[in-house]
Structure 1
C-alpha cells in the first residue's frame, strides 16, 4: 500500500506539470470566445471525455500501436504541432467561428482542446515512461486525478469570461491564438530535432 501511494505521488507530479491546465485556460477562453456559457460547459465536458479516452487507450495500447505503425514520439510531436499551427493560423487570419453551427463549435472540445492541448505529446510521452517505472494502477489513478483538477480549472471559464466581457475575451483570444501558434512551433521544433538527432 505504501508503494502504491509512493508511485501515485511520483507519477502525479510530472503529469500535473505536463498537463498544465492553468496554462491551457487562456487558450480555452480564446477558442470559446463566441460561445454561450452552456456551449462552453459542453465543450469542456467533451474535451475531458476525449482526453480520458485517449489517455487510458494510450496507457493500454500506445506502445503496441507505435510499434506496429513504426511511429516515434518525435513523429507525434511534429504531427501534433502541425495540427495546432494550422488551427491557430486559421483562427488568427479568418473571422472567428464564422458560419459554424453549435455542434461544430463544441467539437473544438475534441480537437484541439482534448487532443493535443490537454492530452498531447507532452502528456502521452510521460505516460509511456511512467507505466514502465511505476505500478500501472497508480499511474492511471494519477492521470484521472490530474484530469479532475483540469476540469475544475476549466469549469471556471464561464466566470472568467463574464469578468473579461466580450472585448476582453476578444483580446484574450488573439493572444491565446499567438500562444497556440508558438506552442505548435515548439512541438514541431522538438520533433524535428529528435528526428535529426536520431539520424
Structure 2
C-alpha cells in the first residue's frame, strides 16, 4: 500500500503532462461553440469514454504485439522517449499546435476531441512505458483520475479560460511541453542504462 502511494505521483504526473488538458480547453470551446447544455454534456461524455476505450485497447494490443515480435521494455523506453521528445520540442516551437485539428461534426466527442486531442501519441507512449515499469494498477488508476479531471475542466472550460486567460493557457501549455521533454529524456536515459547493464 505504501509503495502504491509513494509511486502514484510518478505515474500520475506524466499522464497529466501528456494529456495537457489546459491546452485543449480553447479548442474544446471553439468546437462546441453554440451547443446546447445537453449537447455539450453529451460531447464531454463521448470524448472521455472514447479516450478511455482507445487507451485501454491500445495498451492491451500493444503488449500483445510487443511479446510476439520480441520488443523489450527498454527498447520501447528508448524509442518512446525519442518520440515524446520530438513531440514536446515541436509543441514548444508551435503556438497553435491544436488549431489544425478543428473540425465541426456531430461526432466531435470521438474525433477530434477524444482522439487525437485527449488521446494522442504522447499519452499512448507514456501509458505503455508506465505499464511496463509499474504494472497495470497504478497507470490505469492514474488514467481514470486524469480523465475525471478532463471531464471536470471541460464542464467548466469557459470559466477556466476566462480566469486564466489565453496567455496563461499558453504559458501552462509550454510548461507542460517542457516537462514532457524532461520525462522523455528520463525514459531514454533509463532505457540506455538498463541495456548497458545487460552487457556489463
TM-score for both structures, normalised by structure 1? 0.61
Gaps of 5+ in 1: 79-84, 92-96, 98-103, 164-171, 173-199
Equivalent residues of 2:153, 2:160 under 8 A apart: no
TM-score for both structures, normalised by structure 2? 0.61
* CA distance in structure 1 between the partners assigned to 2:68 and 2:110 by the alignment: 25
Equivalent residues of 2:28, 2:113 under 8 A apart: yes
The 3-state SS of whatever aligns with 2:108 is helix
1:148 is aligned to 2:126: no
- In structure 2, what is the equivalent of residue 25 of structure 1? 25
* CA distance in structure 2 between the partners assigned to 1:119 and 1:90 by the alignment: 15
Equivalent residues of 2:27, 2:102 under 8 A apart: no
Instruction: Label 1:7 to 1:60 Cα distance change in 2 as closer, same or farther (>3 A).
Output: farther
Instruction: Label 1:47 to 1:155 Cα distance change in 2 as closer, same or farther (>3 A).
Output: same
Aligned length: 148
Q: CA deviation at 1:123?
A: 0.5
Q: CA deviation at 1:60?
A: 2.0
- In structure 2, what is the equivalent of residue 123 of structure 1? 123
* CA distance in structure 2 between the partners assigned to 1:16 and 1:89 by the alignment: 21
* CA distance in structure 2 between the partners assigned to 1:35 and 1:108 by the alignment: 12
